[in-house]
Amino acid sequence: MTNPNTPLSPLSQLHARLLELHRTLLGLVRVTYEKEHGTIPNPGAMLQLVIGDEAFAWLRPLSKLLVDLDDKDLVPDAAAARVAVEGLMSGSNAFATRYADVLESTPAVAAEHGEVMRIVKGLPETLPKVSA
């Protein structure tokens, strides 16, 4: 049983903040999608759209990062997590391009982004050196 007063590790904090950012972004895309196509009838239909509809495609790299953070083989430590998040959010990729526009125009996303980056900046920049 987990003690609710035990502080989360930096990687757990990062995962939680990225999950909140993901929810916020999904909500924004959903609102836009529903204005154009009508109400999404249920969570199953929403999941199918997130997986397969072009309107949600730009969010898939963030979805993948969330899954990757749960796999120690894909993201083995805090330094690797920092590299992955920074690469996603500031790289020259479809996510970063669209995210920059949303970040600039949506205060809720800017607030979530600030929290994510606060955690990221506290993570090591490189893997620790092993002395011989």
pLDDT in tens, 59-115: 999 999 999 999 988 899 999 999 999 999 987 888 999 999 999 999 999 999 999
Reply yes or no on whether the pLDDT at 1 is more than 60. no
Provide the pLDDT confidence category of residue 6 given band limits of 50, 70 and 90: low
Spatial separation of the C-alpha atoms in residues 80 and 97, rounded to whole Å: 22
Provide the pLDDT confidence category of residue 126 given band limits of 50, 70 and 90: confident
Rounded mean pLDDT of the chain?
Answer: 91
Q: Where are the alpha helices (DSSP H) in 5-76?
A: 10-37, 43-52, 60-69
Q: What pTM was estimated for this model as a whole? A: 0.86
Provide the pLDDT confidence category of residue 8 given band limits of 50, 70 and 90: confident
Reply yes or no on whether the pLDDT at 128 is more than 70. no
Q: Which is more confident, 18 or 127?
A: 18
Residue whose tokens read 């993901």: 22
Provide the pLDDT confidence category of residue 3 given band limits of 50, 70 and 90: low
CB 47 within 8 A of CB 131: no
CB 87 within 8 A of CB 125: no
